[in-house]
């Protein structure tokens, strides 16, 4: 990351003061929620190892997560459950989770830096930044918070549904996860609209007719 503060500095030059980085985790899994985080960092925050969460080991993510929570000016979390994902689709669910994360910050940010190519439905100044989780320190921090938060949730679900191995694959479509679905069927946190899951509900619907 050449200058982790480039986008934040540009926003500051435009007169914005409370600049939040936004990212989500969990668009691709077959099970579990999608989780978004909004993070406002102080200008004195040092980047250190903070970067795109996908580039960090689980252990380093946990260390960075604790540091972000210790130093951040504000953090908001948004969580959308599998039923709502099925109802409105994963893209809309991701954007809604981001909006909720922002709304859980008080006072609200006055500018948003969002990972990806889509903006939130909020009436706030915002810009979408492709690959922003590797370009903006605020988005990088949000990506770590979202990822660790979701991973911890999936570990809790593992305690409830241990046969699926959620603590390992976190709901992603791994070979072991697909094998568990084939063997045990689906559980309440599986996303029924997703390929690899929806096929198991069709016979039930036909049987009910």
Check which CATH number belongs to the domain holding 143 and give it.
Answer: 3.30.420.10
Which residue segment(s) compose the domain that 125 sits in? 6-205
- Say if residue 98 is preceded by a cis peptide, omega within 30 of 0: no
In a domain, 165, yes or no: yes
Q: Give the separation between CA 98 and CA 101, rounded to whole angstroms.
A: 5
CA quadruple 138, 108, 120, 78: dihedral sign: positive
pLDDT in tens, 70-124: 999 999 999 999 999 999 999 999 999 999 999 999 999 999 999 999 999 999 9
CA distances from 47 to 3, 13, 143 (A): 10, 20, 14
In a domain, 1, yes or no: no
In a domain, 85, yes or no: yes
Tabulate helix, strand, coil % of the chain (nearest 5).
Answer: 50, 15, 35
Count of domains forming the chain: 1
In a domain, 188, yes or no: yes
Mean pLDDT of 120-136: 96
pTM of the predicted structure, to 2 decimals: 0.93
In a domain, 72, yes or no: yes
Under 8 Å between Cβ of 65 and 77: no
């Amino acid at each position: 990351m050449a200058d982790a503060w480039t986008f934040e500095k540009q926003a500051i030059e435009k007169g914005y003061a409370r600049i939040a980085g936004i990212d989500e985790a969990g668009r691709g899994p077959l099970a579990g929620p999608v989780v978004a985080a909004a993070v406002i960092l102080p200008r004195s925050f040092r980047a250190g190892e903070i970067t795109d969460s996908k580039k960090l080991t689980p252990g380093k993510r946990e260390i960075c997560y604790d540091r972000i929570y210790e130093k951040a000016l504000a953090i908001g979390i948004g969580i959308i459950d599998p039923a709502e994902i099925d109802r409105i689709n994963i893209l809309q669910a991701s954007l809604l989770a981001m909006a909720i994360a922002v709304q859980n910050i008080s006072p609200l940010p006055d500018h948003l830096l969002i990972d990806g190519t889509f903006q939130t439905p909020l009436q706030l100044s915002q810009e979408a930044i492709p690959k922003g989780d590797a370009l903006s320190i605020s988005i990088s921090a949000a990506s770590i918070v979202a990822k660790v938060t979701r991973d911890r949730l999936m570990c809790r679900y593992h305690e409830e549904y241990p046969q699926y191995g959620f603590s390992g694959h976190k709901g992603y479509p791994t070979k072991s996860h697909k094998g568990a679905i084939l063997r045990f069927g689906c559980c309440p946190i599986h996303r029924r609209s997703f390929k690899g899951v929806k096929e198991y509900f069709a016979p039930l619907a036909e049987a009910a007719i």
